[in-house]
Amino acid sequence: MKQLLILTITFLCLATGCAQHKDKNGTVITIKTKYGDMVAILYDETPQHKANFIKLAKEKFYDSLLFHRIIQNFMIQGGDPDSKNATPEQKLGGGGPGYTIEPEFNPHLFHAKGALSAARLPDNQNPTKASSGSQFYIVQGSVVKESDVEYLKVDQAKLGSLFRQFMMNPDNKGAVDTLNQVYATGDMAAYQKIVYSCIPRIEKQNGVKILKDISEEKIKAYTTVGGSPHLDDEYTVFGKVIKGLDVLDKIAAVPTVAGDRPYEDIRMTIIVEEMPRKKITKEFDYEFPEIKK
């Protein structure tokens, strides 16, 4: 009887849930800057980050704050409250609202160009990868070449950690000698190719999987619009720019001084709006994906 009930509920969800899902509202934010506006959708699949961002934006927390860190072909970052009245030489990036947010990683939400993601402290200070309570970044990234797709399948953090052990293991002397010889030539492409060829041996020696499964969706995104795939599963993605990628490019191109701070102040104002999903699709040509948690 219980099995029948579950099947019945499932059928009802299939029959009525999709229509309800499509008709519900979506949350759109507009980040206004002197270079133009960026419009982003906030994901329902990251409820803590979404609720927190909406709360801060409605409280005008972000208004007049700077994009204080810019690295072209990587990302633009803002949300440090200390930037509101910062002097030109002031170091920024350490401020926040006094709390962090637990990570909400989702393999279907990744760092393609336009990804809106939460900044955080590095692993040595933040082993749980908790997000900053206010600082965020927007990914610009770069396009991954078709020939480099294999790179996307490698867990770079695991490889980096285990590769050091591999190099110190006397059983791997032959491979290490070859790696050192190629490294000495300065041919980094050839060096990386040999490193990747060692992955099966590294996995076997440590009983750890370094190669990860990657969806065709990710491969297509990273090889067409581009992004920063090395950030996946390390930082929480909680939204996506759906209009204004040209503004992102303009801001990312601004000259910077030491610490990646823009030479000129680029301030933001953020507006939050709830809109029917059909209106968002029509106005911004954005289709809501069916994302699993």
For the ranges 10-14, 85-89, 131-135, the lowest mean pLDDT is seen at 10-14
| pTM score | 0.82
φ, ψ (nearest 5 deg) of residue 116: -100, 120
Provide the pLDDT for residue 1: 39
Distance CA 34, CA 26 (A): 26
Question: pLDDT per residue over 223-279, tens digit each?
Answer: 999 999 989 989 999 999 999 999 999 999 999 998 899 999 999 999 999 999 999
CA neighbor of 42 nearest in space, from 261, 291, 209: 291
Measured on CA atoms in the order 62, 64, 69, 72, is the torsion positive or negative? positive
Provide the pLDDT for residue 145: 87
Who wins on pLDDT, 269 or 13?
A: 269
Question: pLDDT per residue over 97-154, tens digit each?
Answer: 999 999 999 989 999 999 999 999 999 999 999 999 999 999 999 999 887 887 788 8
Which pLDDT band holds residue 17 (cuts at 50, 70, 90)?
very low
Provide the pLDDT for residue 292: 60
Residues 6+ away with beta carbon under 8 Å from 91: 259
Q: What is the CATH number of domain 27-144+215-275?
A: 2.40.100.10
The residues of the chain that CATH labels 2.40.100.10 are 27-144+215-275
Provide the pLDDT for residue 293: 57
Provide the pLDDT for residue 23: 57
Q: Which residues on adjacent β-strands are paired with residue 71?
A: 75
What letter would DSSP give residue 68? E
Alpha helix locations (H) across the chain?
2-12, 18-23, 47-58, 149-152, 156-168, 173-185, 188-197, 199-206, 216-224, 245-252, 277-284
Percent of the chain with pLDDT over 90: 70
